[in-house]
Chain A
C-alpha cells in the first residue's frame, strides 16, 4: 500500500501534516489510535454522565429527579455508549497504537480502511445521541433491545438506533479485518505466532470473534427494521414469529461480545504484570490456549442469559455446564498472573496497581458469574441487581481498569513524557474505592430481591442504594482527575527513556519515546 511505498523513497524525518486536516485525512496508525482513544474517552464521560443521572435518581426511593421515561432512555444509552462507544473503541485505539509496533510493522495493513473505520464512529454516535432530542425520546428498551419492546412498543427513534448500530458494526468489522490482515501478514521476520506478544494474540482472537458476531448483530437489527417497517414478523407472534428468537439471536452475538470486551484486557494485564514483577510471564503458551478456549466456548453458552424463558431441561444443563467450563481457562489465566507475581521483585507504579486490582476484582466478577451460571440459582438472581453487580465488576474494574492501566503504562511511549506518579496513584485509589463502594452493595440488594432497570425501589433497599450512589459519584469525579493527568502528560512532564520501565520487554520499547511518526520502516530482527 501507499505507506509502504512512501517509506522507501521518503526520508524518515517525514512528519505529520499540519492543522485539522491531519486528523481528518490521516492514515497513520498512531494518529488513528490517538483519535480512537480520545473518542472513547469522550464517550466514557458522556456515558458516565448518564450513569450519574441513573444513580442520582436511585439515591433515594421515589421519583426525585427525572421521569421514568427519561430514566429508561438514560439506562439504554448508558449501556450502548459504554459498550460500543467507550470500551470497544478504546481497545481498537490501543490495537492501532500498539500492534504495528509490537509486531515490527510500519503501519496497519489497510491504512485507508483504518481511517474510514474511525470516522464512521462519530457519525454513528452522533445519530444515536441525536435521538435524545427527537419526538418520543431516545431508545428506551435497554441495551439488549429485546423484541417486542424494541419493535412493537419502541419509540419512533428506534430506526435511527438501528442505523447507528449498523454503522458501529461496520466500523468494528473493518477495524478487525485490519487487525487480522496486519497480524497475519506484516510481522517482522522471525516473529512466529507463538512469539507474538500476548496483547497481539488477544487482539487476533478478539478480531476473529468480532468478524463472527458483528454481522449477526447487524442481522438482528435488520430483522427488527423489517418487522417495524416492512410487515415481516420475525419477532411477532401474531404473524407466526417468536420474540424468544430475538433473544437467541441477540445473545448469540452478545456472549462473544462480552469476551470481545475482556480478551484484550487479558493481553494488557499480562504485559503489565510481567513488567512490574520483573519476571518473564508464567505460562505464555497456556495463556494463548486459554484465550482460544474462552473464545471458542463463548459460542456455545449464549442461552445462559435466558435460562428463564422456558427451555428444555437438557438445554439448561448443557448451557450451565458449558458456562462453568469457561471458569477453567479463566482460572488458568488468573493463576498464571499470580504465579508471575510470585517471588517477583514487584514495584507498585500506577499501571501495576490497576493490574493487581484487575486480577482481584475481575475474579470477584468471575465468581458471581459462576453463581449466575447455576440454573436453579439463576431463577432467583435473574434480572436483579446481582446481575448488575456481576457485569459491572467484570466491565468496570475489568475492562475499564485494564484500559486505564494501559494508558498509564504506554503513555510515556506515546507522548515522551512521564505522567505524574503521585496523581496517578491518587486516581487509582479513588477509582478503586469508588468502584467497590458503588458495586459491591449491589450484590446484596440484588440477592435481597431488588429488580434491575426500574427508576424506583422498595424502602428496604434504600440504605445500600444511597451508599452505591455515593460511590458512583466518587468514581465519576475521579475520572475528571484522570482527564487532567492525561492532559498534563500530553503537555509536558519528566522525559521518558526509550525503555520507560525497567522490566519492559518487546519491540515497542526499542524505539524512542515518544515513538517517531513512522516506526519500523525496515523490519527489525526478532530472535
Chain B
C-alpha cells in the first residue's frame, strides 16, 4: 500500500473513532439544548432574570397533574388541582404522597410543563423534584413546590400545566450502590 493510501486510512479511522465519541457528546449537547430552550421539563432553577413587578402582575391559572410511572404503587396527587396565581409573585403548592406498600421505597419525580414555551418563565425555587424521596412503609408526606412566574411570560399563555411523573428508583439505587461499593 502506498503512502497516500496509508494516510487516507489513518484519517478515516480517526473519523470513525471521532464519530463514536461524538454520539456520546450528543448526550450533554442535548441537555444543553433542552436547558436553553426549556424543553422536556429541563427547567432552569436560578432566579436570575426574573422580573418581580408584583403590582403589575397578571392572573394566571396553573394546573397540577400527577402521574405514576408503570408499577409505581404509591399514592401521589396534588393537594389542589388548580390554583390562581399572579405573575411575579411567589406561590406555594403541595403534593400528597404515601408509600402504601410494606417496603421502604425511594422515588423520584420528573417534572414537565405544558405548553412548552411557558417553561422558561416558570421558576421553581423549591421543589421535591430536586431530590429523591424516601418513605418508610405506610409513611405519608406533603411535598412542597415553591415557584414564581416571570412577568415577561407571553400574553398568549393563560393556562399552564405542571405535571409530575413519579418513578420507583428503589432498585435503581441498589444497582448503583452495588457498583459503588461492590467492586
Contacts and interface: CB of A to CB of B under 8 A. Distances in A.
Contact of B16 (A211, A231, A234): A211
B117 to A, nearest CB: 7
A295 interface: no
Interface string B150-178: 00000000000000010111001001101
B161 to A, nearest CB: 13
B12 A216 contact: no
Given A181-B5, A234-B27, A249-B23, A211 B15 contact: yes
A15 interface: no
A245 B167 CA distance: 18
A186 B5 CA distance: 8
A110 interface: yes
A312 B37 contact: yes
A248 B116 CA distance: 18
Interface string A176-218: 0100110011100000000000000000000000011111101
B110 A177 contact: no
Interface string B49-70: 0000000000000000000010
A231 B40 CA distance: 22
Given A110-B1, A216-B23, A242-B40, A173 B169 contact: no
A242 B30 contact: yes
A232 to B, nearest CB: 9
A109 interface: yes
Given A109-B1, A215-B20, A245-B27, A238 B108 contact: yes
A233 B31 CA distance: 13
B8 A216 contact: no
A244 interface: yes
A185 B108 CA distance: 57
A239 interface: yes
Contacts of A220: 23
Interface string A105-135: 0000110000000000000000000000000
A307 interface: no
B49 to A, nearest CB: 19
Contact of B17 (A110, A177, A215, A216): A215
Interface in A300-317: 310-312
Contacts of A259: none
A503 B91 CA distance: 80
Contacts of B5: 109, 181, 184-186
Contact of B12 (A180, A213, A231, A233): A180
Contacts of B2: 185
A312 B117 contact: yes
Interface in B2-48: 2, 4-5, 8-9, 12-13, 15-24, 26-27, 30, 34, 37, 39-40
A181 B30 contact: no
Contacts of B16: 173, 177, 211, 214-215
Interface centre among B23, B37, B116 (most CB of A within 10 A): B23
Contacts of B168: 238
A212 B12 CA distance: 10
Nearest to B110: A237
Interface centre among A185, A216, A236 (most CB of B within 10 A): A185
A17 interface: no
Interface string A287-307: 000000000000000000000
Interface size on A, as a range, is 35 or more
Contacts of B37: 312
Contacts of B24: 219, 223
B169 A239 contact: yes
Contact of A216 (B22, B39, B40): B22
Given A216-B23, A248-B26, A237 B165 contact: yes
Contacts of A233: 172
Nearest to A148: B70
B8 A185 contact: yes
Contact of B30 (A215, A248, A310): A248
A252 B69 contact: no
A312 B116 contact: yes
Contact of A219 (B8, B23, B30, B39): B23
Contacts of B26: 216, 219, 245, 248-249, 252
Contacts of B18: 215
Nearest to A109: B5
Nearest to A312: B37
A219 B19 CA distance: 9
Contacts of B1: 1, 109-110
Given A215-B16, A218-B23, A231-B172, A181 B116 contact: no
A186 B19 CA distance: 26
A184 B8 contact: yes
A280 B182 CA distance: 70
Contacts of A184: 4-5, 8
Nearest to B22: A216
Contacts of A173: 16
Contacts of A211: 12, 15-16, 19
10 contacts: A211-B15, A212-B19, A215-B16, A215-B23, A218-B23, A231-B179, A237-B69, A249-B23, A249-B26, A312-B37
Given A109-B5, A173-B16, A215-B22, 9 more contacts: A110-B1, A180-B12, A181-B5, A184-B4, A185-B2, A216-B19, A219-B20, A236-B172, A248-B26
Interface of A: 1, 109-110, 173, 177, 180-181, 184-186, 211-216, 218-220, 223, 230-231, 233-234, 236-239, 242, 244-245, 248-249, 252, 310-312
6 interchain residue pairs of minimum CB distance: A219-B23, A238-B167, A215-B19, A215-B20, A231-B175, A185-B5
